[in-house]
Amino acid sequence: MSASPNRLQFLDALRGIAVLLVIFAHAAHSRFPIVQVIDANYFQTGQAGVSLFFLISGYIIPKSLNASPSLKVFWVHRFFRLYPAYWVCLFLVILLASAQLFRIQEPLGTVGMAANFTMLQGFVGIKNAVNVFWSLKFEMAFYFLMTAFAVTGMLKRPFLIFMLYSAGTIALALGMRLVLHKYFAYGVFNLELMLLGWVLAEWHAKRLAGKYAVISVIVGLGTTLIAAYTAFAGRTEELTVGTLSFVPMANAWLLSTVFFVATLLTTQQVRWPRVLAWMGTVSYSAYLLHPLVLELSIHFLPPTAPTVVLEFAASFAAAWVCFRFIETPCIAYGKKVAPRAQIAPTVRA
């Protein structure tokens, strides 16, 4: 299914907003006390950005899978889309760490660093070399999940799958909090966001009735509140940015979902700024590389407001270089080496 320019612009603009939220959270948190207060008490800016990324992945990945002539083609494309830029980031981490210009939060050793190169370290309990890598575990989990649905012929049942997953999430959340007296393992909720994005994509493409989309949004928002309460109520665990507490996390999840839905409803009416769409185009590299830029800034620049502006500029400059010279040729090579078959055009995933 081909995508209109407006739809491509909408997707890239959402990515741009998501990565801006993440970079802002990391760059401004240590510089501006007001941002620290907001992140800790009202709204987790970085979590909202990552939640938007999860919703976008849910919207896009099933489309890419359906447009691929085989699972092999899908996975070849995914590999060349994700791994080259990720490996560049890891090589830069090793280089900067050896020069004592980047601090890996926990010593990894050779085995730990090697595991990071697989992008599967989160599944085997090995720490991430860069803090933002945590979200990639859930992206990979969603790819595996969608592959399983493709093999079992379930790709045409997004609403049913979402409802069943929501019920399971609620049961697990309530069981952990009320029966086991433990905080809910909220990573499970990240897949809930992706599955909601999938349902909304089907509605947006007019393959799913509007009533099912409305039901899904209501159930999704309800699940959000239950997940946030069982995971964070009474909890004030410090993070790199902000705290794990109920109000800021719930607001981040809720508002990112509401904003995503509102954007879908106004796709044809809103003309997004080109610069925002461009930021979305390079958002993957920006997401990976901005922690390195921020770490270098700590060593060489004063902690001032102009420095934050420079950090944004440098992050997107580095992202453009990586996108232009790593991502773009590797994506093209992936299409070249994938099994020869006519591939339906789709949105850029």
The residue behind tokens 């907003």 is: 17
For residue 213, give every residue at least 6 positions away whose Cβ sits within 8 Å of its Cβ, in sequence order, or none.
199, 200, 203
DSSP one-letter code for 245 = -
Mean pLDDT of the chain: 92
pLDDT at 30 over 60: yes
* Predicted TM-score of the model (pTM): 0.94
pLDDT score, position 240: 62
pLDDT band at residue 32, thresholds of 50, 70 and 90? confident
pLDDT score, position 237: 73
What does the pLDDT average to over 342-349?
Answer: 49
In the chain, at which residue ranges do the beta strands (DSSP E only) sit?
237-238, 243-244
Cα distance between residue 230 and residue 246, in whole Å? 9
pLDDT band at residue 275, thresholds of 50, 70 and 90? very high
pLDDT score, position 2: 40
For 223, how many CA atoms within 13 A lie in the half-sphere containing its CB? 27
Give 154-164 pLDDT, tens digit per residue: 999 999 999 99
CB 192 within 8 A of CB 169: yes
Cα distance between residue 339 and residue 202, in whole Å? 27
pLDDT at 5 over 80: no
Give 75-126 pLDDT, tens digit per residue: 999 999 999 999 999 999 999 999 999 998 778 889 999 999 999 999 999 9
Q: How far apart are the first and last CA of the chain?
A: 13
The residue behind tokens 């830069």 is: 92
pLDDT band at residue 242, thresholds of 50, 70 and 90? low
Window from 20-34, 48-62, 182-196 with minimum mean pLDDT: 20-34
Cα distance between residue 96 and residue 81, in whole Å? 24
